Structure 1
Amino acid sequence: MTTPEHIVQEEKAQLDFSRDMSYGDYLQLDAILEAQKPLSPAHDELLFIVQHQTSELWMKLMLHELTAAIRHIATDDLNPAFKQLARVSRIMEQLVHAWDVLATMTPPEYSAIRPYLGRSSGFQSFQYRCIEFSLGNKNAAMLKPHEHSAERLARVQTAYEAPSLYDECLRLLARRGIAVPASHTQRDWTQPYADDDGVEQAWLQVYRDPKAHWDLYQLAEELTDLEDAFRLWRFRHLTTVERVIGFKRGTGGTGGVSYLRKMLDVVLFPEIWRLRTAL
């Protein structure tokens, strides 16, 4: 017969994690929660640190999914790529909403911590640069901010030299028998992407007969979702920076708001957006 004392002992045993891996052990929470080291006496610096650290964690997952999606597209394995690209878009939505929290920081609050930041800047994020390069926004000058770390430079360089997500999508179209200009399937992958009427015609063939090209049609819409989310991320970044620091130069030496405004004009998958006018 089970007595109340036995029940209490069983409950205590169930709550004793000293011999097993605990939640904190699995997630290495001690290391993560000790990684916030404010340099200023300002109360709001913890917000600034947590905002950027969590963004880097989301970007780590984004790169994990994006790299896998590119690999699957390159090997004509689209079903897992669809799931991975959809996940990238949802991660970007998380990053968009994260700016809402940082936007609660007022200009005087940021000014109190800015002298302690030195020249550190999100502009120097090697993960963000790998994302940009993987999405096709190639720029050799953007390798320089990472030259101080051989390991990080190697990772950014790999993304810079590899075919982008869009490059692999165009090569896939060509393998499926859709006419894509050779200039866009065999090129120097380190060069910025240039939009082309022939590529637009290739995508139009898909969109004009989606039943015959259903997976390619779905792929194009996944790309549209992804860029839509990325544009929102960039725009929210711009408005948050302008709200917090106005038109001051960024700590990393960029023009701040002026640089971010210029980034809004970058179109990653131009023909997929342009063809909508022709349909």
Structure 2
Amino acid sequence: MSGCPVNHGENIVQEEGAQLDFSKDMSYGDYLKLDQVLSAQHPLSPEHNEMLFIVQHQTSELWMKLMLHELQAAVANVAADRLPEAFKMLARVSRIMEQLVHAWDVLGTMTPPEYTAIRPYLSNSSGFQSAQYRRIEFMLGNKNAAMLKPHAHRPDLLAQVEEAYRAPSLYDEALRLIARRGITVPQAALERDWTLPYAADEGVKAAWLEVYRAPEKHWDLYQMAEELVDLEDAFRLWRFRHVTTVERVIGFKRGTGGTGGVSYLRKMLDVVLFPELWTLRTEL
């Protein structure tokens, strides 16, 4: 058969009415600023595997950016009694955490010798220094003044981290919410120093038990509680996969940022963000 070859792909696109010439209009790459995003990977070592390390952490930071976007809006909506909107955002945060959990599976393909080859090029840089991660921790209630220090060299980032440090956490706003609904919450839990980590309170557990023992009466508060449990469940998985991946790749060496590495991360597994929502289950 003679003649010019047929470009079936182009014909299909044209039949569907899709535009092929983007010389005058915004394209996919223009909208997403892909030139900037895809040119932000600059390995410092000659090692093939450093690209994996960079992309893993950059994509995690992008997911955390979205997580913060959703968390900030969720906290504002809880404070304003707009619970359906808050529930949607909190559910999305839990799904984002699932993406971050699976990201560790990819990094786990890096073997100890491969990581050892790039480690000297990392200097003291470490995920421990992530300002976005620290803001997430603070917004979820794990406050620690010492964690401001790694950001002191960047006043702009320090200001953002300090804002989350000094503000009521998501759980603080949830407790204010149930108090506004007429359920007794200890005053010490409602008017406290927001810069301190939350401490479990029997009176707060009693308040949540009232919700759980009559879910049909307090349905939106009951749903709020379960959204928080989903969120902490996902966060625990994220932390656990972090620990196991680090142990798999570097063993018990110290972290590049000066932490104890696995030993430090294992301590973080013991942190409970919303304690009464877990302990009350024994009494139901």
Q: Give yes or no for TM over 0.5.
A: yes
Query: Is structure 2 residue 129 aligned with structure 1 residue 124?
Result: yes
Q: Which amino acid aligns with 1:240?
A: T
Matches within 5 A, 1:1-279: 11=14, 14-279=19-284
Secondary structure at the aligned position of 2:124 is classed as coil
Q: Which amino acid aligns with 1:86?
A: A
Secondary structure at the aligned position of 2:177 is classed as helix
Secondary structure at the aligned position of 1:138 is classed as coil
1:82-141 CA distances to partner (integer Å, 9 max, x unpaired)? 000000000000000000000000000000000000000000000000000000000000
**Quick one: distance in 1 between partners of 2:148 and 2:274?**
22
Shift of 1:267: 0.2
Q: Which amino acid aligns with 2:45?
A: S
**Quick one: distance in 1 between partners of 2:189 and 2:156?**
30
1:3-41 CA distances to partner (integer Å, 9 max, x unpaired)? x9xx97x94992111100000000000000000000000
**Quick one: distance in 2 between partners of 1:72 and 1:123?**
30
Q: Which runs of 5+ in 2 are unaligned?
A: 1-5
**Quick one: distance in 1 between partners of 2:18 and 2:76?**
46
**Quick one: distance in 1 between partners of 2:166 and 2:35?**
37
**Quick one: distance in 2 between partners of 1:245 and 1:70?**
37
**Quick one: distance in 2 between partners of 1:73 and 1:138?**
20
Q: Which amino acid aligns with 2:113?
A: P
**Quick one: distance in 1 between partners of 2:220 and 2:179?**
14
Runs of 4+ residues over 6 Å off in structure 1 = none
Q: Which amino acid aligns with 1:201?
A: A
**Quick one: distance in 1 between partners of 2:80 and 2:156?**
28
**Quick one: distance in 2 between partners of 1:140 and 1:121?**
19
Identity of aligned residues (%): 77
Shift of 1:271: 0.0
Q: Which amino acid aligns with 1:141?
A: A
**Quick one: distance in 2 between partners of 1:80 and 1:249?**
42
**Quick one: distance in 1 between partners of 2:103 and 2:231?**
17
**Quick one: distance in 1 between partners of 2:42 and 2:85?**
39
1:224-276 CA distances to partner (integer Å, 9 max, x unpaired)? 00000000000000000000000000000000000000000000000000000
**Quick one: distance in 2 between partners of 1:56 and 1:187?**
31
Q: Which amino acid aligns with 2:88?
A: K
Shift of 1:177: 0.5
Q: TM (normalized to structure 1)? A: 0.96
Q: Which runs of 5+ in 1 are unaligned?
A: none
**Quick one: distance in 2 between partners of 1:49 and 1:126?**
17
**Number of equivalenced pairs:** 273
Q: Which amino acid aligns with 2:266?
A: R
Q: TM (normalized to structure 2)? A: 0.94
Secondary structure at the aligned position of 1:14 is classed as coil
Secondary structure at the aligned position of 2:81 is classed as coil
